[in-house]
Chain A
Amino acid sequence: MTEQTLTSAAAERGPLAMEAVSVSKDFRLGHGHTLHAVRDVSFGLYRGAVVALVGESGSGKTTAARLLAGQVRLTSGVIRLDGQAVEVSSRSAFRRYKSQVQLVFQDPFASLNPVHTVRYHLERPVKLHQPGADVSKEVVTLLEQVRLTPARQFLAKYPHELSGGQRQRVSFARALAAHPTVLLADEPVSMLDVSIRLEMLGLLDDLRRRFRLAMLYITHDIASARYFADEILVMYAGEIVERGPAEEVTQRPAHPYTQLLVASAPDPDNLGSALRGSGRRILSQEPYGSQPPQGSRKPEDAATTGCPFSPRCPFADDLCRREDPALMPVSATRAAACWHLDIAAPEVVSGPLGGGFPTTL
């Protein structure tokens, strides 16, 4: 397998904490349909590093996180934590696992119980995962770690008395209560106002550094991944179609889908050219179709053969519709799954990055 030659851009930060190897998840939909939510996905999470999983809704990002969190059973593949294959068959094994791997959800309005106080939300995981600890002292420490100060003031509050940002801080504190080594953050800032998103990412970054957390950052905002993550994995219809160092993937996207994502991000420096003014533009003119995401969402459309992006891809030909390209390295740290990288991204393949790597292209 060619992929083994690839080194993760996140690996230089620290040792491997968690690893997904050829992980797949199918959901049976009835009527003989199967939804391939995650297909043959492999990546590693390293201590002190952030790996971003970027893709649109329905691309399988959240399912991937839930697989890593042990909340859904794998269809195939292995997840390893500290080199050990994960078995969460028993309740106690699951709890041990949870004390190392914690998940933060997208919606701070839904993930906290409205009838319980902040204190209750934090005391429970402390009692569960740190038996014998001084609970009230630990809870105060947790609140201070997420910068909810003065902590005493927040303990008796109910979720509805907190702002969205404060609620999300409570969710972070709750995740930290278990003293995890891996933090899976599923769109942790997308429900928050733009003005406080940075602050929250800054806080996550601070926690990552302080506790050497191995972090998976799931988002549809590739621009925030550029700033926050070491490595970016781009997911489409359950597959990783491109991966590499954050700066390289965002500045010189190789896969046509990544190029579409980058082109769709709002560009404040591009005043007037794209949306304002007159005439028609953007996607209606560009080769990319504007169909809703297909693949994993609608089973009848799922490209069972060929590249899942081929129906929307401007470069697609018969080969693309017939055979699904594997993730192939284009440099020591980058890989993309596309038959036509030489046309789609010639500068990536032939540039200094591509030197010395045998590819089939």
Chain B
Amino acid sequence: MLEIRDFSVVYRTPGGDVRAVDRVNLSLAGGEVVGLAGESGSGKSTLAYGACRLLRVPALITSGSVRYQGRRLAQGSKAADVLQMSPEELQRIRWREIAIVFQSAMNALNPVLSVRDQILDVIHAHMRMPRDEARERVAGLLDLVGIPRSRLRSYPHELSGGMRQRVMIAMALATDPEIVIMDEPTTALDVVVQRDILAQIVELKDRLGFSILFITHDLSLLLELADRIAVMYAGQFLEIATAGEIHREAAHPYTKGLLNSFPSLRGPRRELAGIPGSPPDLRNPPPGCPFLPRCAYGTPACREVDMELLPVVTSADPQHVTACPFVLPGTPPPGVLAAPADGDLDMPDHLRTAGRPEPAGELRTATEQGS
């Protein structure tokens, strides 16, 4: 339904171009939930907003295509490229076909408009609908997201955080879109409310049949929610697979690190490591794998990795792809990732040590490299 190909975005800054999104490919099928996981600054929001052409200068889309094929739109004809559309065509696509639930519901709602007027605004801007019908639709939308109709005249400040987020979701669904992009919709909320809203999103998706691109830094959420997960780092994808594959046999060291970053409530207490260090400066990206400075398994050969997503050899699923060519199965021994984090910004010492065996061009086990 949505096909992003070879997509790049740079931010023009006085200090040089920041390559926020670097030649990524991603597709979203009808009714699918795709999770986009990554740390702040990894380019996940830039990718999503860029694909809808919502970015402003100094952001610049430098390459790629975003093909959209909706069920309602131009039946039979070939998919249209969002990046080539005229402003009028864009206006027709936005919200009607692709809607966005923005990150902070606190700031994304207009404080001086009542809930009803905000949603009416959206409907009138993007659909032709008689006033009475539109009002009825707003009330129906609030029912849909579980807000009592008595709240129609409420202003955003009179609502709790969870309710505001529900209003945002109702707004996104107001025009019955085909794709809903959700940018950290529950990050600011309490766990109980978060769970409640996620359950509601899934239920609405099942009922209305839209697709979701779900952006978050919390991989544990995606494991439960998404069909497929794309792990993003420094503007590139490091791994794409189904949620089950990611959970069972994550291939990339970064994904493994993310999986080992959140404390779990159930089961035995695991040794937790997190990922020491911080992402690279995208003005001056290091050659090869961008994760190398933080990777516990890094070798000199990683500087020449071309970051192409290749199928994971050991996986039964051919759709499971990763940019790390040096990974074999087997979970790393606990604590391997727990390299001491002194000197956050530097490369770990063990990467600089001389006499490290060069990988023989073939796959080497993670444990070998980590030792």
B191 CB contact (under 8 Å) in A165, A222, A270: A222
A194 CB contact (under 8 Å) in B192, B196, B227, B262: B262
B225 CB contact (under 8 Å) in A149, A198, A202, A276: A276
Q: Are A283 and B195 in contact (CB under 8 A)?
A: yes
CA distance A164 to B217 in the complex (A): 14
For residue B194, which residue of chain A has the nearest CB?
A264
Q: Are A57 and B344 in contact (CB under 8 A)?
A: no
Q: Are B263 and A224 in contact (CB under 8 A)?
A: yes
Chain A residues with CB below 8 A from B202, complex form: 275-276
With an 8 A cutoff between CB atoms, is A92 at the interface?
Answer: no
Q: Are B190 and A57 in contact (CB under 8 A)?
A: yes
Q: Are A195 and B217 in contact (CB under 8 A)?
A: yes
CA distance A261 to B192 in the complex (A): 6
Chain B residues with CB below 8 A from A293, complex form: 160, 190
CA distance A57 to B33 in the complex (A): 29
Q: Are B195 and A202 in contact (CB under 8 A)?
A: no
Chain A residues with CB below 8 A from B163, complex form: 292
Chain A residues with CB below 8 A from B78, complex form: none
Q: Are B190 and A220 in contact (CB under 8 A)?
A: yes
Q: Are B221 and A266 in contact (CB under 8 A)?
A: yes
Q: Mark A104-142, 1 if CB is under 8 A from B, else 0.
A: 000000000000000000000000000000000000000
A163 CB contact (under 8 Å) in B259, B263, B278: B278
With an 8 A cutoff between CB atoms, is A66 at the interface?
Answer: no
With an 8 A cutoff between CB atoms, is A260 at the interface?
Answer: yes
Chain A residues with CB below 8 A from B39, complex form: 193, 195-196
Interface size range of chain B in the complex: 35 or more
Chain B residues with CB below 8 A from A265, complex form: 191, 265
For residue B233, which residue of chain A has the nearest CB?
A195
Q: Are B161 and A57 in contact (CB under 8 A)?
A: yes
With an 8 A cutoff between CB atoms, is B106 at the interface?
Answer: no
Q: Are B267 and A269 in contact (CB under 8 A)?
A: yes
A195 CB contact (under 8 Å) in B190, B258, B264, B344: B258
Contacting A at CB under 8 A, from B259-312, are 259, 261-267, 269, 272-276, 278
With an 8 A cutoff between CB atoms, is B220 at the interface?
Answer: yes
Q: Are B40 and A269 in contact (CB under 8 A)?
A: no
For residue A288, which residue of chain B has the nearest CB?
B192
Q: Are B160 and A199 in contact (CB under 8 A)?
A: no
Q: Are A268 and B224 in contact (CB under 8 A)?
A: yes
A226 CB contact (under 8 Å) in B33, B269, B276: B269
Contacting B at CB under 8 A, from A260-294, are 260-262, 264-272, 274-276, 278, 280-284, 290, 292-293
With an 8 A cutoff between CB atoms, is A221 at the interface?
Answer: yes
Given contacts A195-B261, A197-B261, A292-B162, contact A264 B199 (CB under 8 A): no
Chain B residues with CB below 8 A from A269, complex form: 247, 264, 266-267
CA distance A272 to B40 in the complex (A): 27
For residue A267, which residue of chain B has the nearest CB?
B266
Given contacts A57-B161, A196-B275, contact A266 B217 (CB under 8 A): no
With an 8 A cutoff between CB atoms, is B343 at the interface?
Answer: yes
Q: Mark B216-230, 1 if CB is under 8 A from A, else 0.
A: 011111011111000
Q: Are A284 and B217 in contact (CB under 8 A)?
A: no
For residue B206, which residue of chain A has the nearest CB?
A278
For residue A196, which residue of chain B has the nearest CB?
B274
CA distance A227 to B192 in the complex (A): 20
B224 CB contact (under 8 Å) in A166, A198, A261, A267: A267
Q: From B162, B225, B266, name the one whose CB has the most chain A CB atoms within 10 angstroms.
A: B266
With an 8 A cutoff between CB atoms, is A223 at the interface?
Answer: yes
Q: Closest CB of chain A to B169's CB: distance in Å?
A: 14
Chain A residues with CB below 8 A from B40, complex form: 164, 193
With an 8 A cutoff between CB atoms, is A26 at the interface?
Answer: no
Q: Are B247 and A250 in contact (CB under 8 A)?
A: no
With an 8 A cutoff between CB atoms, is A56 at the interface?
Answer: yes
Having A196-B278, A199-B275, A266-B218, one finds 13 other A-B pairs with CB under 8 Å, namely A56-B191, A147-B344, A164-B40, A195-B39, A262-B265, A267-B265, A271-B243, A274-B199, A276-B202, A276-B225, A282-B199, A283-B196, A290-B146
A interface with B by C-beta (< 8 Å): 56-57, 147-150, 163-166, 193-199, 202, 220-224, 226-228, 247, 250, 260-262, 264-272, 274-276, 278, 280-284, 290, 292-293, 297
B interface with A by C-beta (< 8 Å): 33, 39-40, 146, 160-163, 190-196, 198-199, 202-203, 206, 217-221, 223-227, 243-244, 247, 257-259, 261-267, 269, 272-276, 278, 341-344
A-B contacts, 23 of them at CB < 8 A, read A56-B190, A147-B344, A150-B343, A194-B218, A196-B274, A197-B261, A197-B262, A197-B274, A198-B262, A198-B272, A220-B190, A228-B263, A261-B191, A266-B218, A266-B223, A267-B264, A267-B265, A275-B224, A276-B243, A280-B203, A281-B199, A284-B199, A292-B160
